[in-house]
Structure 1
C-alpha cells in the first residue's frame, strides 16, 4: 500500500507560484543544457556543420531556445495537471517521460541527416537532462505550497 505525501494532496498551484517555478525551470534548464553542451564540445570533436552558427543543433542559441520552449510547455502542462489530477506530481512525471520519448523524434529532422552518432549522443543527453531538470523544478511548486 502506498501513501500520498502532502504534496500529492495539493490539487492546484496558484498562477504566480506556477509562473515563478516555470521561470526558474526555464533558467535552470538553459544553464544546465549549456553546461552539458560545453562539456560535450570539450570532450568530443564534432563536425563543423553541427556546431556553432545561428542554427546549428550544437550551438548556444538553439539550445537555449529549445530549452525555453520545453520549460514553457511543461509549465503550462503542469498547471493543467495540478488542477485536475489527484496525484499531480506523479501524473506530470509520467507525461514528462512520454514527452521525453517523443522528443527523440526530432533526431529525424533534415538538418541532422548524416550526423555522426556522437551528435545524437550529446543531443540525447541534453534531452534527458532537460526533462529531469524541468520535472525536478516544477514538482517543487506543489511541495513548497504544501509546506506554506
Structure 2
C-alpha cells in the first residue's frame, strides 16, 4: 500500500450544504432561513449574553471595589536561610551576586531580605529592603546591612 492509495471510507465524507447559491441548488431564495422574522434577517438573532429581556448577569454583578496602586513596589522575597545556603562567609549579597546564584532573574528587580530561618555566616547585605528580623539576624551573625543608593 502506498500513500496515494489511501482514501476515506465510503460514506464518511459528506459534502457541505451550499446555501444561497441559486434555486437550482435547492437552498436558494430564503437560504433555509424561512420567510420573515428576526432570524431570517442579516445579523438577526439575540446577542451573546441576552437573557430574554431579564437584566443581564454582567449588569447584575457589582463593580469591583477598591483600586490598584500603580506606585506599589513588588519586592522579590529572599530569606536569610537561603542566603546562608548559597553564600560563603564574608561574601557580599547584592543584586548582581543574587543573579549569578540564580535567586533572581534580573539585577534591577527590587529584593527584600526576610528573616525566615537561621544565618550562621558573616555577610554584607546590599539590597533594596531588609526586614527588622532579618537585619537583627544578619548583625547577630557578625554581618552588616548597607543601604542601597
TM bracket, shorter-chain basis: under 0.3
TM value normalised by structure 1: 0.21
Q: Which has the larger radius of gyration?
A: 2
Higher share in strand: 2
Higher share in helix: 1
